Structure 1
Amino acid sequence: MTIKNSRDARLAEAVALREAGEHEQARQLLVALADQFPADAAVAYQTAWVHDVLGLETEAVPFYERALAGDGLSEQERRGARLGYASTLRGLGRYPEAVEAFRGGLAEFPDDNALRTFSAMALYNVGEHHEAMRTLLEVLAATSADPAVLRYRPAIEHYARDLDAVEQAE
Structure 2
Amino acid sequence: MDQLQEAIRLKNEGNLKEAQPLLAELANEHKEDQKVLLVAAEVHEKLELFPQAITFYQQALEFDLNEEYRKKALLHLGISYRAVGLYEQARETLEVGMSEFPSSNPFYIYFAMTLYNLGDSDLAMEIMAQKLIETTKDSELINHRGLIEFYASCLDETFN
Q: Which amino acid aligns with 2:111?
A: S
Larger radius of gyration between Structure 1 and Structure 2: 1
Cα gap change, 1:168 to 1:53, in 2 (>3 Å): closer
- What is the CA distance between 1:76 and its match in structure 2? 2.8
Secondary structure (helix, strand or coil) at the match of 1:59 reads helix
Distance 1:168 1:128 in 2: 22
- Give the corresponding residue for 2:138: 146
- For the aligned residue pairs, the C-alpha RMSD in angstroms reads 2.2
Q: Post-superposition shift, 1:166? A: 6.8
Deviations 1:111-154, CA, capped at 9 Å, x for gaps = 21111111100001101122211210110010011121011112
Contact 2:11 / 2:43 at 8 angstroms: preserved in 1? yes
For residue 66 of structure 1, what is the aligned residue in structure 2? 59
TM alignment of 1:122-133, pairs within 5 A = 122-133=114-125
Name which of 103, 106, 113 aligns with 2:105. Answer: 113
Could you state the TM-score of these two structures normalised by the residue count of structure 1?
0.83
Query: Which region of structure 1 is more displaced relative to structure 2, 134-143 or 12-21?
Result: 12-21
2:47 is aligned with 1:54: yes
Alignment of 1:19-38 (within 5 A): 19-38=12-31
Quote the offset at 1:89 in angstroms: 0.9
Unpaired segments of 5 or more residues in structure 1?
A: 1-5
* Identity score, percent: 33
For structure 2, list consecutive stretches of 5 or more residues without a partner in the other structure: none
2:10 and 2:19 in contact (8 A); partners too: yes
Q: Which runs of 4+ in 1 moved over 4 A?
A: 164-169
Measured in 2, the distance between the counterparts of 1:13 and 1:76 equals: 23
Deviations 1:31-55 (A, max 9, x none): 2321232122222111111111112
- Name 1:100's counterpart in structure 2: 92
8 Å CA contact retained: 1:41, 1:69 = no
